[in-house]
Structure 1
C-alpha cells in the first residue's frame, strides 16, 4: 500500500494525532507510525476468511479441536491455497448449527 493510497483513505490525517506521533526524528519512527495506521485500517475491514489459528481463537477452541471438527465434516475449509482457510460464513454456520437453540 502506497502513501498516496493511505492519504486517500484518510489514514495519514496527522492533524488529529498527538504531536509525539506526527514528528519523529528518524525514518524508522515514521515507518512504524505508517505501519500501525495500516494495521488499524485492516482491523476496521471485515474479515472474510481466517487461518486455522485465527478461526480457533475466534470460536474459542483449540487448534486440535478445530482440526477434529474439520475431519468430522462439521466445518468445511477452503483448500484452494497453500494454507487452509475458513470462511467467516462457515464459522457462523457452524456456530448456529451447534448452538443448541433454533
Structure 2
C-alpha cells in the first residue's frame, strides 16, 4: 500500500483515527451527499458501532487505494 500518496492527497488523514460524514466530505473535497452515495454503492464502508456513520482511517485509505487504481486503469 502506498501511504505517502494517500497522505499527500489528504494531509489530515494521518492525524485522524476516524471521520464523521462531514469531516470525510471536507477532507475529500466532496459533498456529504456524495459520501452517502458512496456508502449506498458499497464503495465506502462505515463503522456502524454507533448511530452515526464513522469511517476509520484504514477504510478511507482502502477506498483511496481502490479508486486510484480504478482511475489509473481506466485512463491507460
Q: TM-score, normalised by structure 2?
A: 0.68
Larger Rg: 1
* Greater RCO, 1 or 2 (C-alpha within 8 Å, sep 6+): 2
1:65-76 superposed matches below 5 A = 65-76=34-45
1:26-65 superposed matches below 5 A = 46-65=15-34
Q: TM-score, normalised by structure 1?
A: 0.52
Rounded to whole Å, the distance in 2 between the matches of 1:88 and 1:53 is 14
Q: How many residue pairs were aligned?
A: 59
- The alignment status of 1:94 with 2:49, answered yes or no, reads no
Moved over 6 A (4+): none
- Name structure 2 gaps, 5 residues minimum: 1-11
